[in-house]
Amino acid sequence: MKQIISSWSRVLVTLAVLAAGSVVQAAPATPEMLSNACAGCHGTNGVSAGFSMPSLAGQNRVAIAEAMKGFKSGERPSSVMGRLAKGYSDAEIEAMADFFSKQKAAPAAAQSLDLAMVAKGKTLHERHCKRCHLESGKEFDENAAVVAGQWLKYLQIQMADYADGKRKMSEKKADKMKPLSRDELEAIANYYASIK
């Protein structure tokens, strides 16, 4: 009897809420719904116009998902991203990663770069980075990120986080990165930023 009353009261509550027009039948947030909310900072369909915020369009799906999970756990340093990533389930993160990976990539708009550093960075890329950051950083192996055509400021912040030991690296990456000086990391950042 008690159960019947409680289920009836639930129906009544539901009816009251429906009458007020505030509850509707709706599907769970789609990948597009989840991802569009990010575009205020990462640009429409993930093409960023802000120097310190990366473009996500055409990014490696695995790299986006790893980044978000790293922000969520606090393993990867961030400003707002850690606080935002905690708002999503792993399934939602995978859905957003998939959405952005399928968008058409567009290199950053004209940015001022140091041409000597670009040339130096190219040599360093060939020597240290190209086995994972394929095709001048336009393509990727496994979980490596697309770094070509990103904003210089964003790449510089990431390089600084690596050099300061704030951002963890895989053993494979650490082997390649550790011998590089800050000046060399800056050169590599300039090189990737220059790729169209």
Partner 1 sequence: MTVDRRSFLKLLSAGTAGVGGASLSMAARAAEIMPKSGRRVVVVGGGYGGTIAAKYVRMMDPSIEVVLIERNRQFVSCPFSNLVIAGERKISDLTLGYDKLAAHYGIKVVFDEVTAVDAEKKEVVTAGGSIGYDRLILSPGIDFRFDELEGYDPATTPGIMPHAWKAGEQTLVLKKKLEEMKDGGTVVLSVPLTPYRCPPGPYERTSMIAWYLKNNKPKSKIIVLDANPDITSKAGLFRKGWAKHYAGMIEYRGAKKVTVVNPAGMSVLVEGIEEVKGDVINVIPPQRAGAIAVKAGVVGPDKNWCPVNATTFESTQVKGIHVIGDACIAGAMPKSGYSANSEAKVCATNVVALMNGRELVDLSGINTCYSSITGKEAVSVAGVYKVDQGKIVAVPNSGGVSPDLSELEAIYADSWLRNIMTEMSS
- Binding residues for partner 1, per CB under 8 A? 17, 20-30, 32-34, 36-44, 48-53, 79-80, 83-88, 92, 153, 157
46 or 121: whose CB is closer to partner 1?
46
Q: Nearest-CA neighbor of 169 among 54, 84, 77, 94?
A: 77
Shortest distance (Å) from residue 62 CB to partner 1: 22
CA-only gyration radius of the chain, Å: 22
86 or 178: whose CB is closer to partner 1?
86
What six digits make up the tokens of 94? 């995978």
Looking at residue 45, what DSSP letter applies? G
**64 close to 96: Cβ distance less than 8 angstroms:** yes
1 or 27: whose CB is closer to partner 1?
27
Cα(97)–Cα(93) distance, rounded to whole angstroms?
6
Shortest distance (Å) from residue 64 CB to partner 1: 16
Shortest distance (Å) from residue 73 CB to partner 1: 13
Shortest distance (Å) from residue 118 CB to partner 1: 22
Q: Give me the helix-helix angle, 90-101 and 61-73, nearest 10°.
A: 140
120 or 149: whose CB is closer to partner 1?
149
| Phi then psi dihedrals of residue 104, to 5 deg | -70, 125
Shortest distance (Å) from residue 131 CB to partner 1: 31
1 or 26: whose CB is closer to partner 1?
26
Shortest distance (Å) from residue 96 CB to partner 1: 10
Helix (H) or strand (E) holding 115: helix 115-124
52 or 143: whose CB is closer to partner 1?
52
Contacts of 93 (CB under 8 A, 6+ apart): 65, 68, 69, 72, 85
